[in-house]
Structure 1
């Protein structure tokens, strides 16, 4: 005889693992992280001095993965409640609540620390750039490079 409750729990655990694994695939947003499409692309370089740097939070990803996985887990959990029509209602409510919770869980788990760097360029202009905090704190008074390619701007040493 097949243990349906055990199968449902394994399916729920598998969905949670998928959310965690896929949530870890978020693209880096730091000054030293480049996407594959940025390779071999010319960038404009300007020089300047850091005026300030403050910590910020970069919101997490909001992909359908968290919502779908949460809905699957919630629907499975809801289907174990009651029987007949009540079970169907519990399954729908569980799926909706699970989808909302899964979306929030994904966003929270993929949230990362960032840094807002304000730079006084050598031409006297000020520029603020928000990027992921990769652990190498830029300090006021430090000389930096500002790299731009028309769509991406980053501050590096």
Structure 2
């Protein structure tokens, strides 16, 4: 019973990785498809590796709380089991939230770009295995509503 609960919890949390948004410059949301996007050009002045934090949804903490509560309730007698269920739910919720954030965290890059009109902008996006950027590269800065991306 205990092993199956742990397995269900791990499958739930690992499934969160599939729910995370792709933050690379190559990924577009459905809402961005077939829309007009503004394009400006600039030159990369600097690149800096960054961490993009993972998602923080109720799914990770909820799954952890359920598993922790069930696991805790199986400890001791009736009264002890009730107390342990509460402690297990709280601990499981905290652990589930931390696991979700860690599983969905990604590596990114911060671009500092000198635009053709003289402005300097900074943009963060996830690393993409298909695109390599270097200082001095001329790039496109693509604006689409709330989203901005850097591309060659």
Structure 2 length as normaliser, TM-score?
A: 0.94
Offset, 1:18: 1.5
Offset, 1:9: 3.2
- Structure 1: give runs of 5+ residues left out of the alignment: 1-5
Query: Is the contact made by 1:49 and 1:119 (CA closer than 8 Å) also made in structure 2?
Result: yes
Residues 111-150 of structure 1 aligned to structure 2 (within 5 Å): 111-135=105-129, 136-150=131-145
Structure 1: how far apart are the matches of 2:8 and 2:145? 41
Aligned to 2:8: 14
Aligned to 2:60: 66
Structure 2: how far apart are the matches of 1:65 and 1:102? 8
Structure 1: how far apart are the matches of 2:18 and 2:41? 34
Structure 1 consecutive aligned stretches of length 4 or more whose deviation exceeds 4 Å: none
Structure 1 length as normaliser, TM-score?
A: 0.91
- Structure 2: give runs of 5+ residues left out of the alignment: none
Bigger Rg over Cα: 1
Cα-to-partner distance string for 1:6-64 (whole Å, 9 max, x where unaligned): 3x532332132012112332111111110011001101111111101111000000111
Secondary structure at the counterpart of residue 19 of structure 2:
coil
Aligned to 1:82: 76
Name the count of aligned residue pairs: 151
